[in-house]
Structure 1
Amino acid sequence: MASNRTVPPHLDAVDATAWPGVARPPRGPCTGLRARVAEMSFARACSSAGLEVGEGEGADLTVERAELFPRLAVSGWVGLAESYMAAEWATPSTQSLVDAIVALISAGYRPRATPRWSLSSCEHARPSGDIPPDLVQHYAGDGTSSFAGHFATGVATSERVKFRSHTPGAGRRGEPAAYFVDVTNYSDPVGPERGDLGDAQRRSAEMLLDACGAGPGTHLIEYPSSGGTLAVLAAHRRGTVDSLTTDPAMARSLAEHLVYEGVDDAVRVELGGSHGGRVGSYDAVVAAEKLETLSDKSKEAYLRSIGRLVRPGGRVALQTIVQTPSYTKAADAAVDSLRAYVWPALSYCAVEDIGQIVDRATPLRMVACTHAPGHLAESLRLQRELFDAHLREAAADGYDPVYRRLWRWQFAVREALARMGMLDVVQITFTARRRAGSR
């Protein structure tokens, strides 16, 4: 008797409601032909990348199920991620996974794909880009933060760099055509270990607070909250802190953390995406790794909001992940998998692009910028290793095997891009422009 089965047995355990793209491999007319073409293309890419595809010792990558190839044919890098999440192919370790992604991107692997995801294609891809606090705890060095750290062994070198102004009227009627930015580059960290990550993340937070001059009496807003470390450290400096979040789970977790740290009287947690009518209310605005999760249009709206929040003479300090000139189309194709399942609007822009938006759309001006690409790569490596070490705990918190493989995948993609010098972690400081464009 012919079987009417449409779902391969290895996908029986996958929740089709939570993971529709993983649970249902592509089917339909011409899928078989396209899959064979995709298989040949993948084989060529692996050969060009120097990857050994096979079984047993010495193999860099093992294909367990042929469903990989129709996924590649239809969805490209998104299909490669979905197939990994379905355990249809594997590498010996997550370090090997990073190595394989580096090799494929270096080889320019960029299969044609028809994007078939939307903001509602997966319940886990939150439009806000927020990561559940009970997931963050399984890889955060400080227990609450998902942002990159700055390790103590990085050596700083600084210079003043001239930036072209994109302020309306620049170069005319007393408005300067250019301005100077204090640029600091940090050398790669030396031998960081897992136990160093928490200290490095706290150092990132302290650097942001230093940049915006946070101290006794400073009225500061964290917009949005990044888990609690920034708010706690600002409170320890005897500042008054508002921390905004759109995620109820984040608000509850943050409130509990503030009580535990004994600073709940100095920090106000607000649930909601709006800063209300508090124009010019704050001495300082800080944020960690929010900007890159926004679309280009939303970036401008977000930076406008920040520009309205800070008072004249106040400062803004943001940590964000940016692309470097090495960033390629193959890299962006790989990032499509993160847009499909983690951050729907993920968009890495260059520092210069951020400066242009700020010049054109806000009353702010960039005055300082740090670069620490090696610290980003090491932070992601240590976060990946910590998560690998806490897989059982993540499972106990309700994260199913597909989610756990997704989280290993997203670490691997971002670590690969950072290791290749395509992504950089920067901290940018802004201040309000004075009349005639001076700062």
Structure 2
Amino acid sequence: MTLQQTSPRTPLLRDRLDPQRWADVVRVPTSSPPRTAVARAVITRALSRLPLRVLLGDRVLGRGGPLLEVHDPEAFTARLARDGLIGFGESYQAGEWDAPDLAGTLTVMAEQLTTLVPPALQRLRRLWEARQPAGAGSEAAARSNIRAHYDLSNELFGLFLDDSLTYSSAVFEQMPARWEQLERAQHAKIDRLLDLACVGPGSRVLEIGTGWGELCVRAARRGATVVSLTLSQEQHDLGRDRVRAAGCADAVEIRLQDYRRLDPERDGRFDAVVSVEMIEAVGVDHWPTYFRTLDTMLAPGGRVALQAITMPHDRLLATRRTYTWIHKYIFPGGMLPSNEAIDEATRAHSALRVTESEGFGTHYAETLRLWRERFTAHAAEVAELGFDEAFRRMWTLYLAYSEAGFRSGYLDVRQILLTREDEA
């Protein structure tokens, strides 16, 4: 069913979209009158309390700040009433609301995330919110999930990443960061992680999550040999090409393989295991297997160095089974851990223990800002690759949404050292 319009309106982006490709963006849902009334009251109350300037039809709400302009209040309300934050994201994809300073607007909302909805309604949300599908994180699901994101197009990622093709947080010498600093800052991040794992001449290194091969190259140039695993065909192929072009093919093997298929009898054990922002794709139910695998594949005296995006533990507990806009459109099956969850999982399922952990979330906010600005500047080239306006708005929202998480302090990114307790 679709929301019936009671008066003429200006055509919106959703009217121009492919209804098969973007069915839930084109379709405006309906809710029961009581639910719509409650949603309208909750939305009005929440927006009125925020340090934003909200244009909601002919009403002005908020306490001043970045502008949020709702072009179709009925559709905006209907989507939030039916689908919560999934509806909020789809409403942006549909062109039903805009914000000139998108990251700034979302940062304000992220700072107030836990207080926007009254506690009584938060407790009731499990009755209506979407739940993650069964089997998320299985080997078959992992292959599908990774390919859904990373196999979109190497050319797409090349339009907004720096020449290192590194798709994770950089570490900058100074901020605010500039684009010309990004590649050096990505190398600084990789080098810090390799230092944490004590990678040097003769080290056998296992990397879980290849990216496009930059860490492999930098480890090989230290005199290490590397086995790197990915589930993305696009990353596998381009990563191997880049390793060969760097003259490191003899020291690096990139495999299209799930980490769960590692076998210490066949593959040997490794002096260092490194993994950059991979645990987020593993899924809550598979964290025990992930950490057991790290432990099993680590040689005596070895070190595990992870880079991981983290969230507060109370939010993890509240949302660990929730299906979100990010799951639906960006990272299917993913889940961010908390510091406590990593500590609990390693203690319960391995001999590994967290021995160092350093956060640098503000650096991720700057990294994401640079990516978002670059992506926006290359909108015409993105369109030439075959990605339509709904996709471009989706990707812009994803980058701004993520940036807001780090700017608000709701998210962090950490480099974490794991060693065996009996070898410390």
Partner Cα distance (1:329, 1:85) in 2: 29
Q: Is the 8 A contact 1:118 1:340 kept in 2?
A: no
Aligned counterpart for 2:194 among listed residues 209, 228, 231: 209
Code of the aligned partner of 1:24: R
**2:285 aligned with 1:297:** yes
The residue aligned with 1:38 is 39
Give, in angstroms, the shift of residue 243 of structure 1: 1.4
CA spacing shift, 1:336–1:423, aligned 2, 3 Å: same
Partner Cα distance (1:71, 1:117) in 2: 19
Aligned counterpart for 1:92 among listed residues 97, 100, 112: 100
Tell me the alpha carbon deviations over residues 150-203 of structure 1, each in whole angstroms, 9 at most, x when there is no partner: 1124xxxxxxxxxxxxxxxxxxxxxxxxxxxxxxxxxxxx32222222222211
Give, in angstroms, the shift of residue 10 of structure 1: 4.6
Aligned pairs, how many?
A: 391
**2:150 aligned with 1:131:** yes
CA spacing shift, 1:59–1:381, aligned 2, 3 Å: closer
Code of the aligned partner of 1:323: M
Instruction: Show structure 2 runs of 5+ residues with no match.
Output: 6-10
TM-score, normalised to structure 2, is: 0.82
Give, in angstroms, the shift of residue 332 of structure 1: 8.6
The residue aligned with 1:270 is 255
CA spacing shift, 1:359–1:39, aligned 2, 3 Å: same
Give, in angstroms, the shift of residue 288 of structure 1: 0.5
RMSD between aligned alpha carbons?
A: 3.3
Aligned counterpart for 1:144 among listed residues 165, 168, 173: 165
CA spacing shift, 1:331–1:102, aligned 2, 3 Å: farther
**2:16 aligned with 1:13:** yes
Code of the aligned partner of 2:150: I
Percent of pairs with identical residues? 29
**2:129 aligned with 1:114:** yes
Aligned counterpart for 2:392 among listed residues 391, 398, 404: 404
Partner Cα distance (1:210, 1:39) in 2: 53
The residue aligned with 2:51 is 50
**2:213 aligned with 1:228:** yes
TM-score, normalised to structure 1, is: 0.79
* 190-199 vs 417-426, which moves further: 190-199
Instruction: Show structure 1 runs of 5+ residues with no match.
Output: 154-189
Partner Cα distance (1:421, 1:199) in 2: 25
Partner Cα distance (1:360, 1:333) in 2: 21
Give, in angstroms, the shift of residue 36 of structure 1: 4.3
Give, in angstroms, the shift of residue 377 of structure 1: 2.0
Partner Cα distance (1:214, 1:62) in 2: 51
Tell me the alpha carbon deviations over residues 232-258 of structure 1, each in whole angstroms, 9 at most, x when there is no partner: 111111211111111111111212222
Partner Cα distance (1:329, 1:408) in 2: 28
CA spacing shift, 1:17–1:432, aligned 2, 3 Å: farther
CA spacing shift, 1:350–1:103, aligned 2, 3 Å: closer
* 255-264 vs 400-409, which moves further: 255-264
Aligned counterpart for 1:70 among listed residues 51, 68, 78: 78
Tell me the alpha carbon deviations over residues 292-349 of structure 1, each in whole angstroms, 9 at most, x when there is no partner: 2332211221111111111111111110011246959999999922122222333223
Greater fraction helix: 2
The residue aligned with 2:307 is 319
Partner Cα distance (1:135, 1:433) in 2: 43
Q: Is the 8 A contact 1:220 1:286 kept in 2?
A: yes
